Amino acid sequence: MSAPPNTKPKLAVWKFASCDGCQLTLLDCEDELLALSEAVEISHFLELSNTITAGPYDLSLVEGSITTAADRDRIRAVRAQSRFLVTIGACATAGGIQALRNFADIDDFLSVVYARPEYIDTLATSTAISAHVPVDFELRGCPIDRRQLLEVITAYLAGRRPNIPDTSVCTE
Ligand code: SF4
């Protein structure tokens, strides 16, 4: 007799240009991670496992900024497979420290840093995920807050908006 189909919501975690710190925040949720892994199918999370389940995914968490043409194509493919897409951390929500390149000439950087800059394939800018695809929610921080991350995941699995204050606007 074959096993019953897995009906758990599918969670995917994706990395773009970043330091991995925000993904590690999820791994730091030691106690809650066990309960989470029982509530969802962790379908794509390369920091955790090389086992990948094909999409579509119910919730995608995206870390990192877009800095190459290949990543620009990849985030569109991720969006197409994701019911909800949440960006996590300053790299994904604002371009990160690597967005300093946006205020200078990328060719100047390449010629100073690399012996053979012709081998480097990069965009002139580092940009937020929301500059390329629609984003359902942006979780800010560097790194993100562990409890806020759990709230985001719990909220989307329950079909509600995360109860997290919008810190994108300074009111003072
Ligand atoms: Fe790392 Fe900060 Fe970017 Fe998160 S936001 S991936 S902690 S640099």
In-domain check, residue 149: yes
Task: Tell which atom from ligand 1 comes closest to the C-alpha of 91.
Answer: 3
* pLDDT score at 33: 83
Q: Which pLDDT value is given to residue 167?
A: 59
Q: Give average pLDDT by consecutive 10-residue segment, the chain, 172 residues.
A: 72 97 91 86 91 94 98 98 97 96 92 92 96 97 95 91 72 40
Residue 140 lies in a domain: yes
Specify if 167 maps to a domain. no
The pLDDT value recorded for residue 171 is: 41
Could you give the number of structural domains in the chain? 1
Q: Which domain holds residue 48?
A: 10-158
Which pLDDT belongs to residue 37?
83
Cβ-based burial of 108 (10 A; exposed 0-12, middle 13-18, buried ≥19): exposed
Ligand 1 centroid – CA 161 distance (Å):
24
Distance (angstroms) between ligand 1 centre and the Cα of 4 equals 39
User: Token match 């929500």: residue?
Assistant: 93
Asked whether residue 124 is assigned to any structural domain, the reply reads: yes
Q: pTM for the whole thing?
A: 0.91
Predicted local distance difference test score (pLDDT) of residue 172: 40
The CATH number of the domain holding residue 102 is 3.40.50.700
